[in-house]
Amino acid sequence: MQLDWIDDILAVIDTGSLTRAAERRFLTQSAFTRRVRLIEERIGVPLFDRSCKPVTILPGVQAMEPELRELGARLRRLQHDLKAAADGAKRDVTFVCQHAITTTISPWVVRQLTQSQDISVRVRSGNRDNCLMLLLSGEADFAMTYEQPDAPGPALPQAFEMRRLGGDTLVPVASPDIAFHADAPEIPFISYPPDVFLGRLFSQSILPLLPEGVMLSPKAETALTLAACEYALDGIGVAWLPLTLVKRHITEGRLRRLHDLPHQNLSIMLIRLSDQQGDGTAQIWSDLTNVPDPSVGL
């Protein structure tokens, strides 16, 4: 499948007709029609319904629009990367970060690297387990995740090299309207799914430290810290969130930190594959692990 073919098919999907698609592709209608027939001949199946006027794209092809767009984007990225490699142009590096880190720490990473090197930084976001899987699969060069200090690292520890970049704290916050004290009989809160890192951390390190008699009443559950933050801002309940994510809201009075409820310290870790030391990312590792704590000042 050629990139031009994908663009031609998407042009028809987007415009709804061969005539307007030809205009988008800067071709005459007859030239575009010939290209469409060539695509069908090369693929070996019809793509368009010519039994009606105007000619329309077949429903089965229409249903594949998301896959066509994704493939087109990947081919463009591959085209860009191949050109960059051939020209000796600036390199791309991919980071995958936990969602909160994407918002708070990844701008610092991008700034550090783009100022010191001729490099383009691609940032992806996911939960902690997704981050490690993307690193193992080779789809990311580095991962940035939270870890509980002094806790065992990720599974397959021999596969990873980890370096602490700085610290953060998982703190309970709520809008001023529902900023309960620890002696409140029941506290509405935003929970994390038990199978994600923050859900496991909450169960192991926060729940056992709740003051005696305090009952938590779950109002919503989400794996996304950004969503939990919005729920807290909307007054839905108490949320345990990274301090770097909510510090500005606390300063502005939109959220209040609940000091009577337990918190948990976190380490911000930079992770790469253990066999990655000798490749072209070594300088990036050195640049990021020899600078002050990125969370300071956030």
- Give the model confidence (pLDDT) of 249-289 as tens digits: 999 999 999 998 999 999 999 998 887 655 567 878 887 87
Give the rounded percent of residues in the chain with a pLDDT score beyond 70: 87
| Contact call for residues 170 and 201 (beta carbons, < 8 A) | yes
pLDDT score at 295: 58
Give the confidence band of 86 by pLDDT, cuts at 50, 70, 90: low
pLDDT, mean of residues 120-142: 86
- Mean pLDDT taken over the chain: 83
Q: Find how far residue 144's CA is from the centre of its chain.
A: 11
Q: How many CB atoms lie within 10 A of CB 185?
A: 9
273 CB contacts (<8 Å, ≥6 apart)? 135, 136, 159, 160, 161
Q: Which residue has the higher pLDDT, 248 or 29?
A: 248
Fold of 88-167+267-289: D-Maltodextrin-Binding Protein; domain 2 (3.40.190)
Q: How many CB atoms lie within 10 A of CB 42?
A: 10
Burial of 4 (0-12, 13-18, 19+ CB in 10 A): exposed
Assess whether pLDDT exceeds 80 at residue 152.
Answer: no
Q: Which residue has the higher pLDDT, 192 or 5?
A: 192
Tokens read off for 246: 């909510």
pLDDT, mean of residues 115-141: 84
Lowest mean pLDDT among 117-121, 139-143, 149-153: 149-153
Rounded CA-CA distance 239/231 in Å is 8
Rounded CA-CA distance 269/47 in Å is 49
- Of 163, 141, 147, the C-alpha closest to 275 is 141
Give the confidence band of 97 by pLDDT, cuts at 50, 70, 90: very high
Rounded CA-CA distance 196/270 in Å is 19
Assess whether pLDDT exceeds 70 at residue 83.
Answer: no
pLDDT score at 297: 46
Assess whether pLDDT exceeds 50 at residue 234.
Answer: yes
Burial of 2 (0-12, 13-18, 19+ CB in 10 A): exposed
Domain boundaries for CATH 1.10.10.10 within the chain: 3-84
pLDDT, mean of residues 189-203: 91
Rounded CA-CA distance 27/156 in Å is 55
Q: Give the architecture-level CATH label for domain 168-265.
A: 3-Layer(aba) Sandwich (3.40)
pLDDT per position as a tens digit, 30-81: 888 888 888 888 888 888 887 777 777 888 888 888 888 888 888 877 776 6
pLDDT, mean of residues 219-223: 93
Q: Find how far residue 155's CA is from the centre of its chain.
A: 21
Give the rounded percent of residues in the chain with a pLDDT score beyond 90: 28
Rounded CA-CA distance 12/103 in Å is 37
Domain boundaries for CATH 3.40.190.10 within the chain: 88-167+267-289, 168-265
User: 3-84 has which CATH code?
Assistant: 1.10.10.10
